[in-house]
Amino acid sequence: MKCKFCGAEVKLGERCQYCGSVAEAFYYKPEEPPEVVGKNLTDQKEYTVQKGDSLWRIAQRFYGNGAACYALAHRNGIKNPDLIYPGQVLKI
C-alpha cells in the first residue's frame, strides 16, 4: 500500500521509512465530519489523551466507530487528526 503522506510503498501497520507515518488500512477524510449514528456528541464528557493514543482508537472506544475521529477532531478544533498529544483534554 502507499503512505498517505508521501506516497512511498509501505506495508500495513509498518512505519514509513521516509516520513515516519504508520500505514493504516482505512483512511477517510470527508469534507464534513461523519454523522455518528446512535451517539450524542453533545454530551459533555472529557478524555485526557494518554501516550500511544490515536484519535481513531479514542473514537472507536467511545463511539464504536473509528471514522468518528473526524467528528471528534472537528469538535475539539483539531486540524490534523493524526496530531494529538499526551495530556491533551478532548471533549467526547
Is 3.10.350.10 the CATH number for 46-91? yes
pLDDT at 10: 75
d(Cα 17, Cα 34) in Å, to the nearest integer? 31
Q: How confident is the model at residue 90 (pLDDT cuts 50, 70, 90)?
A: very high
pLDDT at 51: 94
d(Cα 2, Cα 46) in Å, to the nearest integer? 34
- For the segment 66-70, the average pLDDT, to the nearest whole number, is 87
d(Cα 80, Cα 58) in Å, to the nearest integer? 15
**CA Rg, the chain, in Å?**
14
pLDDT tens for each residue of 2-53? 766 667 787 877 877 766 767 665 555 555 555 555 555 555 689 999 999 9
pLDDT at 44: 63
Neighbours of 56 (CB within 10 A): 20
Q: Where are the domains of the chain?
A: 1-29, 46-91
